[in-house]
Chains A and B, each alone.
Chain A
């Protein structure tokens, strides 16, 4: 049994009982879809369709549909990939690391955050496949499968191959972790189901959950093991993604600071995305009692910390470029700040380094509207960070004869939109058909903290 101090602020407000929790959360699944939801879903599907056309043209006609060129071989594709992977960091961090640290405030947000993680990773995974010249072969040639090509094997030296392993491992573990957490809640919905179809569907989804003490005990053990497994992954995935750049020779990419800097950036953007989504969800689903201002404030603090880490990393890069004495590297960084893509660099600096510092003021970090705006700004900034790293480093590297600009084409935008369509379609489907808050876990904090205060 968890002992909780009596004077600690309750994690769930509004004097919710265990029954209220079940009603509030299951109710969303059981009720008919609201008009708002229908509209949101329709917009998401439309976005998906529009983006799908861009994807179709890309695969049909070739990568030339994008604005890439002989000098800049990656731009929006890998920017979006890293951005989505970064976003996909918060969920597992919240569920796994905060679970290990016994941060119980995570309980009412981890479900949505994990779902977001999984959908973001799905979106991210689109890009490594779509950016290939020949995805119809690449999607399986990049795997170390036994083949009939003789002794032909993948190149284990290539960071892209490490990406394949890192992302797929992270995705599998996150998915299993998330799903295991869902099982007791599915069982609740199954038990409450009034029609046969939902009884059957949720029955199947709940894997025959019987609520026995032994089952609960196993459930908690598995959750802990998975948390243990997922924790290093949170750190490793973005470390490995950063190797794509760090192990190369391109000035601006070839930096050893990348792993910690990328991980901090990922958490930074992941938390911002969680905030963006939760602020909407809590409003629409009236979950203010579960996702409280305290949650928002704590997450904003994480944002200040990671945002500051990222800011220090930016400055360190400049210092190291100067200190290295490498001409091309020094130029790469001067060019970032003063070259033709300076606007992107300063957008990044403003969004990522300056805007989160506003959260030092309690007024701002406890203001929902301000949090919402800044969370979006942070994600814009983090997109620019990847764009700056990828495009400005490539566009002026060693030989000035090859220096070139990158201009996006409609298909660059289209494929990015496609992933938004995909993400929101999945997220809204999740919000409607899955319990958005972990009922089983939240019930444990209702008891622990709600009781005394009420009295």
Chain B
């Protein structure tokens, strides 16, 4: 072997003498030359002194504390600054959504819809989007507790096992609907070991519907409704677009029937009969406000009308007053037979039976409604739950385990449960937070957040999905499934358990070879679907019995006040009430934040003498179900006169710092009778104005669009079919050479876009107004929450808002009248964000050039150059710019802005987006960080970005795909195709006849195009009125 070259530092080393070796190992090769025995010299003193000082001062220098610890061994998939995506599943109570989790440096920071899920449809809802912040809620339980004191899991397990043995046979496990097979089997293990009972309930009960299907089809289920196949949809108070199991999927299906283009010139028609103006009602072509006490009659009358046409036994019920729209609905339903759906939100078995009978007549089963596939998201049984509450109070239930549910708060019998819990020998909650229920139990065994958990789901028969942890559990929590297994004596690790469950439940049905490969594929995709065998089961409904019951229960002329509780699209059922993003999200209909209130018809508010001002209102003493509370009133056009609405999800008392004290708990007003929870209270309701002033923070206080055709352009289907440009407005500018199109006149030279030209298309017809884009944007772009006070000051920060306009009955020109919404208005939703104008008025007025135009068509905002004159915001015709009036981060005054005011909350922030300082302007950037990363990715691969690779957060979250983002320079991109983009020298032109620019006459030339709203009405409402 060849000797390697050696280098030596000096001759001493080369010689390597013994003396050298000895010295080499010493710190000082030679002792400091201090002469021994002699008097130390001055020089020696200085040498020692110098060394001493240097040594001491060096030692005193503390090593800087480095919080960023470099990886000793870098995990394979984690690269700093690069995001990772994991397919998983959102679950909250009974709600479900298949998602993809975006993580950065190991932190989940954003949720996207899983495009592979045919069930949830690839979109998200506001609650799904916001749930990532709930992960970083500082108020989550950080460890198991016994009697409120910190305990270890070993201690807890030992104590719980002992207690469980003691209550053997008298244990009840209370849950929301379980759609997870593994969770169900872990509960079953506990059930069989301790002879327990499993009781489930849903915050918004579907018990009546489930029982009706049990009667008619022999199986207690909510069958899968396919709205995408429906040509005529009739909804009786069922808000299937806003608050319904899997409303993200419903939105996608419904919107797919509303999209129009040159090839598809037909769309579905939606009828809604309801008391409160719901999101579904707002999207309806024909909406009729009815009282809850009339609902059964309307359903039965519809049945009679259809039965008359299609041949069926009619039922003997009272006629409803004005049934023109109902008869029209009946005609349409019959006309589009086999493509019709009727749904009802009623919890009355007989009404649901009648609905089944209608659907049966219309041939919906096997076409639009699939009874072979049950939606497992609603399984709660009101009767068995009521029994449990009775048992708890009588002592027959000695032990209770609450699995991630909070019935003390969110069940009308909550008060009785709270009282009964005192009598129980053993009570345990797995809730991840101390809530109204878990604060009353002895044992708290906190579950992981779903983003920290393994789980599997079968949301609908044959559709499976997996949940995988995107972060290790932040606190000392344990998955509830693991806890259940531990207490039932099974110590299988949860991952193995889920895997095994997947193997038995899914792999067995799938036709795949290797389980390992199958598992990896499922984990990657997040979802897996198997074929469901189709069996035809005929509906068996005795309409005469149902009819008789309806005739008895419902009245056409109830004069008393009625209450209809509803679930809104922001805070929802209240499980995530401690999430400030949801609290500040404007309700899609009322545009109110941080509150619940009685929605009353404007006529009613006037009768009560409620003084309504600019966001100010008054309270009433409201009584229902024997309970009186002082509640503010919000006049709501479209609310059926004689009814009031109240949103559930508010009035938390132990929900956390954000949730507590906001609004009134509406669950307490729901009645429980004959084993059914009723959200519609039709008797014993009264309201007494108290004159107490109150302010409701709304983000929009002007509700009509004042007939401004350059803002909203709409038409009806029949006109659209004749002329694709129907409803369009073409402003013209007078010049010396005659009238010209606005874009023919300009002071500006225009911009050249050599590479990309980003744009967006917003289909007003597909947008249902759900608002998931608002929260998606908030998450993506680190948008602060400002709190109720600041929303009252009109300073909310959302970059994308949804303008909700009501129609008005006033004549054109009657400006004061046009400010008032019609009693039962048509509703238009218009998502509004920075329009990325090519001739941007904001850009010219900034004195320091902080907002400028990019070479890709973006209107850019440079935060660190902004001095905050707000001139740009004033000069923005769309009023989409948002100013940082205060410092919203690290500021105790904005403690509700939890994402920026505590260390844990800050983990949710997107590191690619600056947290803005006080005094600077901000606005929608078209998610420039996503554009950049998409371009970089493409550049790394040496190609151009592919269409769909880059999309804005709002567009990606949109469940109805109303927002389409893309490169208008790319002729093959979806946006270019849909808008039929034509490239001019320095601008683009959309040739799609429905495409328009909001405020075209200003010649600001936005890069956002809107497609006209087309209602499927026979004639426009104006003509309708004139005829009437």
Task: Give residues in A with beta carbon < 8 Å to B.
Answer: 61-64, 67-71, 73-74, 128, 131-135, 137-138, 141-142, 152-155, 157-161, 164, 244, 247-250, 325-328, 331, 334-335, 338, 340, 394, 396-405
Chain B residues within 8 Å of A398, by CB: 708, 711, 877-879, 999, 1002
Chain A residues within 8 Å of B871, by CB: 73-74, 158, 160, 244
Chain A residues within 8 Å of B877, by CB: 249-250, 397-399
Given contacts A248-B841, A248-B874, A327-B708, contact A403 B866 (CB under 8 A): no
Chain A residues within 8 Å of B790, by CB: 64
Chain A residues within 8 Å of B614, by CB: 340, 405
Chain B residues within 8 Å of A138, by CB: 848, 867-869
CB contact between B868 and one of A132, A244, A404 (< 8 Å): that residue = A132
In the complex, the answer to whether B803 meets A62 with C-beta atoms within 8 Å is no
A455 to B227, CA, bound (A): 107
Chain A residues within 8 Å of B710, by CB: 327
Chain B residues within 8 Å of A164, by CB: 847
Interface status of B904 (Cβ within 8 A of chain A): no
Q: For A330, give the chain B residue with the smallest CB separation.
A: B815
A127 to chain B, nearest CB (A): 11
In the complex, the answer to whether A71 meets B919 with C-beta atoms within 8 Å is no
Can you report 20 residue pairs joining A to B where beta carbons are below 8 Å apart? A63-B919, A64-B795, A68-B870, A132-B868, A133-B870, A134-B919, A142-B867, A152-B865, A154-B847, A155-B844, A155-B846, A159-B845, A160-B845, A160-B846, A247-B845, A328-B708, A338-B816, A399-B711, A399-B803, A400-B711
Chain A residues within 8 Å of B804, by CB: 401
In the complex, the answer to whether B867 meets A134 with C-beta atoms within 8 Å is yes
CB contact between A394 and one of B794, B874, B998 (< 8 Å): that residue = B874
In the complex, the answer to whether B848 meets A404 with C-beta atoms within 8 Å is no
CB contact between B841 and one of A132, A249, A405 (< 8 Å): that residue = A249
CB contact between A132 and one of B702, B865, B869 (< 8 Å): that residue = B869
A248 to B795, CA, bound (A): 23
Task: Give residues in B with beta carbon < 8 Å to A.
Answer: 614, 700-706, 708, 710-711, 734, 790, 793-796, 801, 803-805, 815-816, 830, 832, 841, 844-849, 865-871, 873-875, 877-879, 881-887, 917-921, 998-999, 1001-1002, 1004
A338 to B815, CA, bound (A): 10
Chain A residues within 8 Å of B874, by CB: 73-74, 248, 250, 394
B833 to chain A, nearest CB (A): 12
In the complex, the answer to whether B1002 meets A249 with C-beta atoms within 8 Å is yes
In the complex, the answer to whether A67 meets B845 with C-beta atoms within 8 Å is no
A158 to B840, CA, bound (A): 13
In the complex, the answer to whether A70 meets B846 with C-beta atoms within 8 Å is no
A176 to chain B, nearest CB (A): 26
CB contact between B794 and one of A69, A328, A400 (< 8 Å): that residue = A69
A160 to B844, CA, bound (A): 10
In the complex, the answer to whether A249 meets B875 with C-beta atoms within 8 Å is yes
B852 to chain A, nearest CB (A): 9
A362 to chain B, nearest CB (A): 44
Given contacts A134-B920, A397-B877, contact A403 B845 (CB under 8 A): no
A140 to chain B, nearest CB (A): 10
A69 to B870, CA, bound (A): 10
Chain B residues within 8 Å of A141, by CB: 848, 865, 867
Q: For A405, give the chain B residue with the smallest CB separation.
A: B614
In the complex, the answer to whether A70 meets B794 with C-beta atoms within 8 Å is yes
Chain A residues within 8 Å of B846, by CB: 155, 158, 160
A8 to B281, CA, bound (A): 84
A250 to B873, CA, bound (A): 11
Chain B residues within 8 Å of A61, by CB: 886
Chain A residues within 8 Å of B703, by CB: 400
Task: Pick from B706, B711, B867 the residue with the most CB of A within 10 Å.
Answer: B867
In the complex, the answer to whether A331 meets B706 with C-beta atoms within 8 Å is yes
In the complex, the answer to whether A401 meets B865 with C-beta atoms within 8 Å is no
A104 to B726, CA, bound (A): 70
In the complex, the answer to whether B883 meets A63 with C-beta atoms within 8 Å is yes
Q: What is the interface of chain B mostly: helix, strand, loop, or mixed? A: loop
In the complex, the answer to whether B845 meets A133 with C-beta atoms within 8 Å is no
CB contact between A158 and one of B796, B801, B845 (< 8 Å): that residue = B845
Chain A residues within 8 Å of B885, by CB: 62-64, 68
A395 to chain B, nearest CB (A): 10
Chain A residues within 8 Å of B702, by CB: 396, 400-403
Q: For B816, give the chain A residue with the smallest CB separation.
A: A338
Task: Pick from A338, A402, A404 the residue with the most CB of B within 10 Å.
Answer: A402
A325 to B1001, CA, bound (A): 12
A252 to chain B, nearest CB (A): 11
Chain A residues within 8 Å of B921, by CB: 133
B582 to chain A, nearest CB (A): 21
In the complex, the answer to whether B879 meets A74 with C-beta atoms within 8 Å is no
B5 to chain A, nearest CB (A): 50
B282 to chain A, nearest CB (A): 15
Task: Pick from B871, B878, B882, B886 the residue with the most CB of A within 10 Å.
Answer: B871
CB contact between A400 and one of B706, B882, B999 (< 8 Å): that residue = B706
Q: A68-B883, A133-B918, A399-B999 are in contact. List 13 more A-B contacts (CB 8 A).
A: A63-B885, A69-B794, A71-B794, A132-B919, A133-B869, A133-B919, A141-B867, A155-B849, A160-B869, A244-B871, A250-B877, A399-B879, A403-B702
Q: For A324, give the chain B residue with the smallest CB separation.
A: B734
Chain B residues within 8 Å of A338, by CB: 815-816
Task: Pick from A63, A138, A158, A249 the residue with the most CB of B within 10 Å.
Answer: A249
B101 to chain A, nearest CB (A): 32
In the complex, the answer to whether A399 meets B847 with C-beta atoms within 8 Å is no
Chain B residues within 8 Å of A133, by CB: 866-870, 883-884, 918-921
In the complex, the answer to whether B701 meets A404 with C-beta atoms within 8 Å is yes
B835 to chain A, nearest CB (A): 11
Chain A residues within 8 Å of B805, by CB: 400-401
CB contact between B795 and one of A69, A153, A403 (< 8 Å): that residue = A69
A68 to B877, CA, bound (A): 17
A394 to B881, CA, bound (A): 14
A325 to B734, CA, bound (A): 10
A394 to B494, CA, bound (A): 59
A328 to B710, CA, bound (A): 10
A4 to chain B, nearest CB (A): 50
Chain B residues within 8 Å of A401, by CB: 700, 702, 705, 801, 803-805, 830, 832
Chain B residues within 8 Å of A400, by CB: 702-706, 708, 711, 805
Chain B residues within 8 Å of A137, by CB: 867
In the complex, the answer to whether B701 meets A403 with C-beta atoms within 8 Å is yes
A161 to B708, CA, bound (A): 34
A161 to B871, CA, bound (A): 11
In the complex, the answer to whether B886 meets A62 with C-beta atoms within 8 Å is yes
Q: For B786, give the chain A residue with the smallest CB separation.
A: A64
Given contacts A398-B711, A404-B794, contact A248 B845 (CB under 8 A): yes
In the complex, the answer to whether A74 meets B870 with C-beta atoms within 8 Å is yes
B285 to chain A, nearest CB (A): 23
B847 to chain A, nearest CB (A): 4
A61 to B885, CA, bound (A): 9
A63 to B918, CA, bound (A): 9
Q: For A340, give the chain B residue with the smallest CB separation.
A: B614
Chain B residues within 8 Å of A74, by CB: 870-871, 874
In the complex, the answer to whether A70 meets B795 with C-beta atoms within 8 Å is yes
In the complex, the answer to whether A250 meets B795 with C-beta atoms within 8 Å is no
A331 to B871, CA, bound (A): 22
A73 to B886, CA, bound (A): 14
A68 to chain B, nearest CB (A): 7
A24 to chain B, nearest CB (A): 47
Chain A residues within 8 Å of B704, by CB: 400
In the complex, the answer to whether B803 meets A160 with C-beta atoms within 8 Å is no
A227 to B795, CA, bound (A): 47
A365 to chain B, nearest CB (A): 39
Chain B residues within 8 Å of A250, by CB: 874-875, 877
Chain A residues within 8 Å of B878, by CB: 398-399, 402
A187 to B998, CA, bound (A): 67
A63 to B873, CA, bound (A): 14
In the complex, the answer to whether B867 meets A158 with C-beta atoms within 8 Å is no
A334 to B814, CA, bound (A): 12
